Structure 1
Amino acid sequence: MAKFLPPKEFDFVPEKWLEWSSRWERYRVISKTDEEAEAYQVNCLLYTMGNDSESIMNSFTLNADDRKKYDKVKEAFDKYFSPRKYVIFERAKFFRRDQMPGETVEQYVRALNDIAGRCEFGDKRSEQMRDRIVVDILDTAVSREMQKMDVTALTEDVAINMARQAEQVDKNIKELSVNNRSAAADLLASSSCGTDRNFDGSIKDRKTAATDAVNARGRQKPNGGGKSKIRTAASSYDSSSKCKRCGYKTHTQDADEPSDDQLFLGAVEVGHCSKSWTKHVQVSGVKIPVRFKLDSGADVTIIPNQLCGNIAMTPSDRTLLEAGNSNIDVLGARQNAS
């Protein structure tokens, strides 16, 4: 037979008596203590409660026979620890209890039920529970939908199930959104050339206006005598040819000799970057803040032409390569102040 541990000693806080007493009664049944003599059950109760139970027991006005009867002793303890019920206060708490941000429907319903148990609503309890759920859930769309329903059809159980289902749907949508972003990242990573593509394989429009700044990093490649040079490649478009790396009929790829004047643009897209890795910065000469991806190892940072505004630039012969190793037209450069 399985052995069960009794509940921990009672801390003699009146508000916690009902909870502790319920645990004790459950233990009393599963341990078969309830099948023992009543005097034995009384002693088990006092021993499990702790030392202070003795002095409280002595304060009871029970005769010698009643002190050996479990039901009489338990009833005396129930009266001793039963807190006064402040029904008006508990109802005020009930009617002010809204669903908190971050609180699930399940947690909200449990908390509401706990307060309702002290409000003495009687046969109106289910009705009151339903009304609070309709009015005070965070999902206002579901709340409006419930309010349109016939009051006889909208029971407490129906309201709870509607709120739970809406919460689960929102959770599923968020999960799918996260999975889609992961799939997009995997699609970019799986391409040898790293070409920025849509899901159907077509290349994204490179001329689309953007308010994002993109970092370019020199991609290092070992060179003969151990000296590292920046990797480069020449790219040209031929609709009849396939890329040797990714197999798409969008461009061809030919290796070129390394050059110190070329940098590879490693960031294909920053639209899906975590916000913790980006920062809006006010650039001198640009009217609106520009969102920069934070990359302390970047060699250069580029911004779209339409955001350059009145920025003073100097001519640059530096070559930038984007994903797919296509050249990026550089209008000019501005050296950061040291």
Structure 2
Amino acid sequence: MKAFRARIKSRWLWLGLGAFLLFVIYQNVKTDVPTAQAFAPAMPVNNPGSVARLIQRPYEGLKVYALYTGDIQVGGEAMLDPKNSRVRAEELHKQFVPAMAYLIYHPREGYLLFDTGFGPAFARSSNGDLGWWTKPLVKTRVHAGQDLISQMNRLGVSPSALKYVVLSHGHVDHTGGLPALGSVPVLIGKGERDAIAQPMSLLHGYKQAHFAKVAQLFEVDFTHAPDLDPLGRAVDLFGDGSIYLIDSHGHTPGHLSLLVNLRQGPLILAGDVVQSRRAFHDAIPSGNSTNITEAYTAARRLAATQEQIPGLRAFYGHDAEQAAHALQPPLFYQ
């Protein structure tokens, strides 16, 4: 009798495990990601050719608000490539790092967002809207009023006022605020949509459901874009020399960065090209990059730009010290 009961218990255990796995597979095979359209930027007035020439023509009236939307726990390999000889073993530890979003004001075009950090769902639960089964795997810290929408509300900016959301890439700590923004058009780099929509993409850091409300998804193709030396290929977003989309793929297939041509000098929003000032100093990308060779290329281009233009301002992907000392809204960079 005991043996019979043990067999029954074992079968129920395996059935339960099978049902759980089927549920997880279903959640990660179905796609909520809309088909991407090719983005057609405005025709640029001129091509500066280099960052050095660009800074001679700053664009008046631009503002950048740095929104610190919470923290996420990551392993050391997410911050630095563990195979790099300049990375010390003690640097490769689990840590909480900031998730940032940047609200940009353009005097003619209105507002746009670069990345979305974490939305209200992450203020309610430590794993946000990622699903109950991710609870042991994902840990975030978002205080009441810290999420993206709460900060935008305090600045008097509603989601309907946004012209675009530009995503450096599709990982959850960059798209967590997307569901609360409704149907705002979203721009991503070419190749990123396929990475997000692949089966089981949550295992690679993507949450397809974050894109469920996106009515228009645009992919930026840098194939024929001119160089903005030494950053690489760049697209003039509004055609007026104010904001440039920078091809910085490597961390993910369609990773892009942003250069905002502010009055007080250009500000680079690097995304996850490098994760911190320490990583930037040695041009070391994240160890969990999709293409580590291309990731190093993007990191070295960013470092070369800093060497060429001393005092150049840049926000890195997840720098805790930088987030703590950033101008707090309603203060802004200009």
Bin for the TM-score computed over the shorter chain: under 0.3
Task: Please report the TM-score for the alignment, with normalisation by the length of structure 2.
Answer: 0.23
- Structure of greater Rg: 1
Task: Please report the TM-score for the alignment, with normalisation by the length of structure 1.
Answer: 0.22
Higher relative contact order (CA 8 A, sep 6+): 2
- Kindly indicate which of the two structures has a greater share of residues assigned to helix: 1
